[in-house]
Amino acid sequence: MAGLGREYKAGEIIVQQGDAGNCMFVIQKGEVEALAESGGRQLRLRSMGRNEFFGEMALFEKEVRTATIRAIRPTRVLTIDKKNFLGGVHEDPSLSFRILQMMSHRIRDLTDRLARYEEIG
């Protein structure tokens, strides 16, 4: 039986850095990696698996995607637009706290990683 969401093959791009976005994604099965291009170099930011999400920034601001998301292995993701997200928060207010908690964790992780690369002096 086919499930909800869209299937991606290993190596397939789900989201492209620089593209406009208006939804977030929840990984139903599989694994993806987040990649960011800067100065001609591609940097691996993190990998994510089942029940993790990405693209949430598109629900809060009208900016382009900040990273490319690529399937590492066969993956199925569910798309959630702003209307569905707000409906979910209305039904379960703790959802917004979990999203903010994950965003905070990602910011802290990137800040720590940048600090290790920063030259002092």
CATH of the domain at 104: 2.60.120.10
Distance of CA 31 to the CA centre of its chain: 12
Domain-embedded: residue 44: yes
Q: What pLDDT shows up at residue 62? A: 83
Domain-embedded: residue 77: yes
Instruction: Quote the number of domains for the chain.
Output: 1
Q: What is the DSSP string of 6-30?
A: EEE-TT-EEE-TTSB--EEEEEEEE
pTM greater than 0.75 (yes/no): yes
Residues of the chain where predicted confidence (pLDDT) is lower than 70: 1-3, 118-121
